[in-house]
Amino acid sequence: MVDTLLQLRDNGTLNHLVQIGLLSPKVLTYLEIYLWIDARLKTSNKSLNTLVLEAQDTFNVSRATIWRSLKFAKDDNPISR
């Protein structure tokens, strides 16, 4: 799912789908949060829980939103495996 969303984002289709109301803007937020946490998991020795707390402050959203963003791509999500 993440790969598909990234392709849609790269060619501008994802933004267009959000603008015309077919997708919620939350999809963009969830994708951004997922990518942020994924990058930090690969480059740091911090635990997922620590990164969730950091993401909460960085994105100014609740912890539930952070976990939801990780679950939205669960099929492709190496974090949840």
Q: For 56-77, what is each residue's pLDDT tens digit?
A: 999 999 999 999 999 987 765 5
Rounded average pLDDT over 36-50: 94
Q: What is the span of the domain harbouring residue 71?
A: 24-75
Its pTM stands at 0.84
Query: Does residue 78 register a pLDDT over 70?
Result: no
Residue 16 lies in a domain: no
Residue 32 lies in a domain: yes
- Overall number of domains in the chain: 1
What's the pLDDT at 2? 85
CB distance 80 to 70 below 8 Å = yes
**Buried b / exposed e along 6-22 (16+ C-beta atoms within 10 A):** eebbeeeebeeeeeeee
Average pLDDT, the chain: 89
